[in-house]
Amino acid sequence: MRVAAFQREPLFDDIPVIVERLKADLEWCDRQDVKLALFPECYLQGYVLDREILSLRALALEESGFRSLLEGLASARATCVLGLVERRGAAVFNAAAVIRNGTVLGTYRKARLHRKETAFDPGEDRSLFEVDGWPFGISICYEANFPEIAASVARQGARLICYPLNNMLVPDVADQWRAKSVDNLRRRAIETGCWVVSSDVVGEHEGMLCHGCTCIVSPAGELVSRVDEGSAGVAMFDLCT
């Protein structure tokens, strides 16, 4: 199965522009016969830690604004894992929606939140998804630190774990995580015997920095594809059994 992971500069509170980016990237995926495309954490609206801002940006997946977004993606054949800020009732989740042909197949909501992520509500569900005969699970950014989370996904039968990331940090912390993020992903692959795919943001924003950790890792822990640090781009690879 051919997968693609996109490393993109973040954009904040400009959904129409992000949707145009998504359409262009998914059209590219269809030309390349990509079956699964992965995008960064909170990519749709931008990652922030302010509850008031998050509440304003959050989208309910049933509302007209999100349905219009889906209509714009309906022609894409590739399945898309899209990071977003989701509203359900009074709760606000750091979520990843699995979208195919303009339809939401399911959503994963980040369950293990960093201590700084008090603006989000924790999720609970950890369902598997499937594309082209490949069962896959989703874990979001900080959750890559925990072997037990990856293990629980693998026990359900996943052959692939997708990690939407957003490593936009103050520069000294970004430097500390520059190699550690890759090491975490390699360890999760080796421990579980699953393929691992990550998608990160890249660049600078208001004094914050992300080098970019977008890569594809084999079950043996081999880095088979990676986008260059500091650059927007795409990692693509044909997964095999």
pLDDT digits (tens, 9 = 90+) for 76-89: 999 999 999 999 99
- The answer to whether residue 139 scores a pLDDT higher than 90 is yes
Query: Domain range for residue 115?
Result: 2-238
Contact status, residue 113 vs residue 122, Cβ threshold 8 Å = yes
- The answer to whether residue 181 scores a pLDDT higher than 80 is yes
d(C-alpha 169, C-alpha 219), whole Å: 28
Please name the residue ranges forming H helices in the chain: 15-31, 51-57, 64-72, 147-155, 171-192
Supply the CATH number for residue 161's domain: 3.60.110.10
- Strand 129-131: give its sheet, edge to edge: 129-131, 134-138, 160-164, 195-199, 215-217, 223-226
Beta strands in the chain (DSSP E): 2-7, 36-38, 79-88, 91-100, 103-109, 129-131, 134-138, 160-164, 195-199, 203-205, 208-210, 215-217, 223-226, 233-238
pLDDT at 127: 84
* Residue whose C-alpha is closest to residue 44's, from 62, 64, 77, 70: 70
pLDDT digits (tens, 9 = 90+) for 100-124: 999 999 999 999 999 999 999 999 8
pLDDT at 122: 97
**Which helix or strand (DSSP H or E) is residue 63 part of?**
none
Q: State the Rg of the chain over Cα.
A: 16
pLDDT at 147: 97
pLDDT digits (tens, 9 = 90+) for 201-237: 999 999 999 999 999 999 999 999 999 999 999 999 9
pLDDT at 214: 98
d(C-alpha 15, C-alpha 59), whole Å: 11
Domain count for the chain:
1
β-pair partners for 233:
7
